[in-house]
Amino acid sequence: MTRTAILAALSACLALPAHAEGRLNIFNFGLYTPPELLEQFSAETGVEVTLTEFAANEEAIARIQAGGHGLDVVVVSAYYIPVYLEQGLLLESRPDQMANFANVAPGFRSVTGDPDRHYTAPWVWGTTGVMVNTARYSGDINTAAIFLDPPDELRGQVNLVPQMNDTIDMTLRYLGAETCTSDREALREARDLLLVAKPHWASVDYPSFEKFVNEDLNASIFWSGAAGRIREANPGFAYGWPATGYMQWTDNAAILADATNVENARLFLDYIMAPENAALISNYTRYGNAITGSEAFMDPGLLDSPELTIPAELVGAAIDQRLCPPEVQELYSRIWTEVMR
Amino acid sequence: MAETSTPETRVWRDELRRRWALASPAMIVITLFSILPLMVMVVYSFLAPGLYGNVIWEFSLRGWAGVFTERDLFDDTLGIAWAHVTILGRSVALALATTALTLVFGLPTAWFIATRHPSTRAFWLFLITIPFWTNLLVRTIAIQEVIRADGTINRILLSMGVIDAPFAMMFTNGAVLLGMSYVFLPLMVLPVYAAIEKFDFRLAEAAYDLHASRLYCLRRVILPLMKPGIVAGSILVFIPALGAYVTPRLMGGGRAMMWGNLIDLQFGQGRNWPLGAALSVVLTLVVAGALVWYVRATAAKGGRDG
């Protein structure tokens, strides 16, 4: 009896690697992956998918650098791809040669940090602007003053999302300076303005959506798609594009250099470039995607939802999210520590 | 030569070997899970920061220099890192306040439990341990539910007509203190309870017989005997409160940084691992300092009382 038990245990151990071939570990931003997409992918391929979430690119890369993570696919903001590449963290998986790459819209076949799409497949694109509860404040919301010089009605109810580059970029543009400037006078002004504004913020965090829905917080730097999801739960909230400059970005899926389930990861990258699957992602995240033909599968009203419809006069104010040269990045970092202390 | 092989020394040597062998599992565990990780931290604090996080394997004092000094952002003069002093001061103050508040609430609670009938004590202790079944994060979010704008307290006050607009409690220093005290309260109650349970109530009766007032009895008889429990509870609360990360961030909204959040910043967006490691070593040293102080303080007092 014992011998059969041991044999059974041994064979179970031997069976494990075979089982592991049917796995895929995905590392994505929080509230960014439709459960339906993973269920369908599992049903169609037999691959068992595990999802792990993070809040920021910096947090994700710190975990990957630490090693022993067991992750296969990571979603990276386009501007942050060079950081991954410089450290050799991504596998050259050639999404540009995958079957579904033909669906990628021409404007997205090249992206900052991965011009030939040798490493990444598009996930979604969107903007970072401001979100305001218009039941509390009815003035103009197309301005960075919402967080830099909040109107009386919003003071003490503003959240700042702790995205260093986005915040400092928008602050510099609000002051009339260029992003990634090395002009110390402009940077000093940006720091001073942030320090003056700080007492008016309630929190500096990646807040859960319900904090807005329940009106614990009534304004924030925020992402277009996430703002759409909050508006559906609390119609008072509206999304604004600061006229002096707001962020525009794309997020992309890549395979890690030390991935253990490379073939499944390739399958997944190809899978998300299929129109019906890209539409699933858009329907869930409320962001636009880069896949032509996905429109047919999208929820009615999503494409012309207020958050995705940038007013014509504000289209030019978009700032492409990018990493500054190292010496400026260092100054950003020090300003940030001073403001956050 | 002859001396070392006498039967006594041989027995003694065998005994010594046996003791080492018996102690080795504990020593291996301590080395593996306590000393080695600490060494990694110390080593990393003396390396150079990589451009995008991680470290470059060359000796550098930049991490340690960054703990105490900072170069002015704009005129490049070297000065004391007041930001770090402020944050450390805030963390210590919060940890002390948390310890004091848990003591104020924990002492009567422990007294209450210890003075119940022995058959029901287990039940009350069981109630105290229930929060430990739940994750720290969940407990913190639960207490948020009580104090938020749309939360229990505000709803009750609004319906009673005491206030006519929600009273802002979230994201304040008071909220952080409330959350920390709530989370750490059991750590205070349990050791204090253990001390009170051993208390011989005949001693209090004797004090009364000798015409001691209630306050005098509490001050001179009960408190000195409860002291080991109070000290143990204070240590158990103060140390984790000093490095608390989740609760200040959730309850305080991440606006006022604590030492733990400062360390986190260095490993994340700050991309300065050596500084983060050096800051961690500082935290460890502060905790060690507090422990030494406690041990000395209690030893001295104990000598006088005994």
**Dihedral sign, CA of A298, A300, A304, A307?**
negative
Q: Is residue A132 located within the same domain as residue A232? A: yes
Q: pLDDT at residue A7 above 70?
A: no
Contact status of B165 with chain A (Cβ, < 8 Å) = no
Contact status of A3 with chain B (Cβ, < 8 Å) = no
Contact status of A341 with chain B (Cβ, < 8 Å) = yes
With CB atoms and an 8 Å threshold, state whether A204 touches B54.
Answer: no
With CB atoms and an 8 Å threshold, state whether A159 touches B268.
Answer: no
With CB atoms and an 8 Å threshold, state whether B269 touches A162.
Answer: yes
Contact status of B120 with chain A (Cβ, < 8 Å) = no
Mean pLDDT across chain B: 86
Q: pLDDT at residue A20 above 70?
A: no
Taking alpha carbons only, the member of A151, A134, A221, A156 closest to residue B165 is: A156
- B300 vs B295: CA distance, rounded Å: 9
Q: Is residue B89 located within the same domain as residue B38? A: no
Residues 89-148 of A with CB under 8 A from B: none
Residue span of the structural domain in which A104 resides: 2-125+250-297
Residue A169: CATH number of its domain: 3.40.190.10
* Cβ contacts of A179-188, under 8 Å, gap ≥ 24: A179/A245, A179/A319, A179/A322, A179/A324, A180/A322, A180/A324, A180/A325, A180/A328, A181/A328, A182/A325, A182/A327, A182/A328, A182/A331, A184/A331, A184/B73, A184/B74, A187/A331, A187/A335, A187/B73, A187/B74, A188/B73, A188/B74
Residue A133: inside a domain: yes
Q: Is residue B100 located within the same domain as residue B32? A: no
pLDDT digits (tens, 9 = 90+) for B153-164: 888 888 888 888
Give the mean model confidence (pLDDT) for residues A43-67: 91
Residue B218: inside a domain: yes
Number of domains in chain A: 2
Task: State the nearest Cα–Cα gap between B111 and chain A, in angstroms.
Answer: 38
Residues of A in contact with B271 (CB under 8 A): 58, 333
With CB atoms and an 8 Å threshold, state whether A336 touches B270.
Answer: yes
What confidence tier does A206 reach under pLDDT thresholds 50, 70, 90? confident
With CB atoms and an 8 Å threshold, state whether B267 touches A62.
Answer: yes
- Lowest mean per-residue pLDDT among A13-17, A261-265, B177-181: A13-17
Q: Is residue A197 located within the same domain as residue A319? A: yes
For the record, the structure tokens of A33 come out as 């992956």
Contact status of A337 with chain B (Cβ, < 8 Å) = yes
The complex's ipTM works out to 0.70
Give residue A3's pLDDT: 53
Q: Is residue A91 located within the same domain as residue A135? A: no
Q: pLDDT at residue B68 above 90?
A: no
Give residue A17's pLDDT: 40
- A295 vs A316: CA distance, rounded Å: 25
Q: pLDDT at residue A14 above 70?
A: no
- Lowest mean per-residue pLDDT among A166-180, B64-78, B206-220: B64-78
Give residue A307's pLDDT: 92
Q: Is residue A77 located within the same domain as residue A172? A: no
Task: State the nearest Cα–Cα gap between B71 and chain A, in angstroms.
Answer: 10
Residue B265 is nearest to which of A184, A201, A337, comparing CB atoms?
A: A337
Residue B179: inside a domain: yes
Q: Is residue B283 located within the same domain as residue B210? A: yes
Q: pLDDT at residue A6 above 60?
A: no
Task: State the nearest Cα–Cα gap between A214 and chain B, in angstroms.
Answer: 7
Give residue A317's pLDDT: 94
Residue B286: inside a domain: yes
Residue A262: inside a domain: yes
Residue B55: inside a domain: no
CA-based R_g, chain B, Å: 25
- Lowest mean per-residue pLDDT among A6-15, A32-41, A180-189, A282-291: A6-15
Q: Is residue B106 located within the same domain as residue B40? A: no
Q: pLDDT at residue A249 above 50?
A: yes
Contact status of B41 with chain A (Cβ, < 8 Å) = no
Task: State the nearest Cα–Cα gap between B139 and chain A, in angstroms.
Answer: 16
- B242 vs B302: CA distance, rounded Å: 26
Q: Is residue B215 located within the same domain as residue B146? A: yes
Contact status of B72 with chain A (Cβ, < 8 Å) = no
Q: Is residue B168 located within the same domain as residue B34? A: no
Contact status of A328 with chain B (Cβ, < 8 Å) = no
Q: Is residue A272 located within the same domain as residue A319? A: no
Q: Is residue B34 located within the same domain as residue B178? A: no
Residue A305: inside a domain: no
Number of domains in chain B: 2
What confidence tier does A274 reach under pLDDT thresholds 50, 70, 90? very high
Residue B209: CATH number of its domain: 1.10.3720.10
Contact status of A86 with chain B (Cβ, < 8 Å) = yes
Q: Is residue A116 located within the same domain as residue A259? A: yes
Q: Is residue A148 located within the same domain as residue A189? A: yes
Asked if A230 and A209 touch (Cβ cutoff 8 Å), the reply is yes
Show Cβ contacts of residue B42 under 8 Å, excluding neighbours closer than 6 positions: B277, B281
Contact status of A258 with chain B (Cβ, < 8 Å) = no
Q: Is residue A264 located within the same domain as residue A211? A: no
Give the mean model confidence (pLDDT) for residues A55-74: 90
Of these ranges, A120-129, B77-86, B255-264, the one predicted with the greatest mean pLDDT is A120-129
Q: Is residue A193 located within the same domain as residue A317? A: yes
Q: pLDDT at residue A171 above 80?
A: yes
Q: Is residue B101 located within the same domain as residue B15? A: no
Q: In chain A, whose CA is at the least distance from the CA of B262?
A: A341
Q: Is residue B26 located within the same domain as residue B110? A: no
Residue A37: inside a domain: yes
- Lowest mean per-residue pLDDT among A95-99, A148-152, B13-17, B76-80: B76-80
Q: Is residue B31 located within the same domain as residue B114? A: no
- B191 vs B200: CA distance, rounded Å: 17
Contact status of B262 with chain A (Cβ, < 8 Å) = yes
What confidence tier does A187 reach under pLDDT thresholds 50, 70, 90? very high
3-state per-residue secondary structure call for A193-252 = HHHHHHHHEEEECCCCCHHHHCCCCCEEEEEHHHHHHHHHHCCCEEEECCCCCEEEEEEE
Q: How far is CA B75 from the centre of its chain?
A: 39
Contact status of B59 with chain A (Cβ, < 8 Å) = no
CA-based R_g, chain A, Å: 22
Task: State the nearest Cα–Cα gap between B54 and chain A, in angstroms.
Answer: 7
Q: Determine the straight-line distance between the first and last CA of chain A, rounded to whole angstroms.
A: 65
Residues 167-196 of B with CB under 8 A from A: 168, 170-171
- A141 vs A218: CA distance, rounded Å: 12
Asked if A79 and A112 touch (Cβ cutoff 8 Å), the reply is yes
**Which residue type sits at B193?**
Y
- B180 vs A178: CA distance, rounded Å: 43
Residue A307: inside a domain: no
Residue B58: inside a domain: no
Residues of B in contact with A56 (CB under 8 A): 268-269
Task: State the nearest Cα–Cα gap between A59 and chain B, in angstroms.
Answer: 5
What confidence tier does A18 reach under pLDDT thresholds 50, 70, 90? very low
Residue span of the structural domain in which B3 resides: 1-45
Give residue B3's pLDDT: 52
Residues of B in contact with A65 (CB under 8 A): 53-54
Q: Is residue A135 located within the same domain as residue A244? A: yes
- Lowest mean per-residue pLDDT among A121-135, A213-227, B211-225, B256-270: B256-270
For the record, the structure tokens of A8 come out as 């059974």
User: Counting one residue from A and one from B, how many pairs have CB atoms under 8 Å apart?
Assistant: 80
What confidence tier does A16 reach under pLDDT thresholds 50, 70, 90? very low
Residue A12: inside a domain: yes
Residue B57: inside a domain: no
What confidence tier does B272 reach under pLDDT thresholds 50, 70, 90? confident
Residue B139: inside a domain: yes
Q: Is residue A174 located within the same domain as residue A256? A: no
Q: Is residue A35 located within the same domain as residue A119? A: yes
What confidence tier does B5 reach under pLDDT thresholds 50, 70, 90? low
pLDDT digits (tens, 9 = 90+) for B73-124: 777 778 888 888 888 999 999 999 999 999 999 999 999 999 888 889 989 9
- Lowest mean per-residue pLDDT among A47-56, B70-79, B150-159: B70-79
With CB atoms and an 8 Å threshold, state whether A331 touches B73.
Answer: yes
Helix orientation angle between B82-114 and B173-197, rounded to the nearest 10 degrees: 40
Residue B234: inside a domain: yes
Task: State the nearest Cα–Cα gap between B58 and chain A, in angstroms.
Answer: 18
Q: Is residue B25 located within the same domain as residue B132? A: no
Segment (H or E) for B116: none
Residues of A in contact with B255 (CB under 8 A): 198, 201-204
With CB atoms and an 8 Å threshold, state whether B83 touches A201.
Answer: no
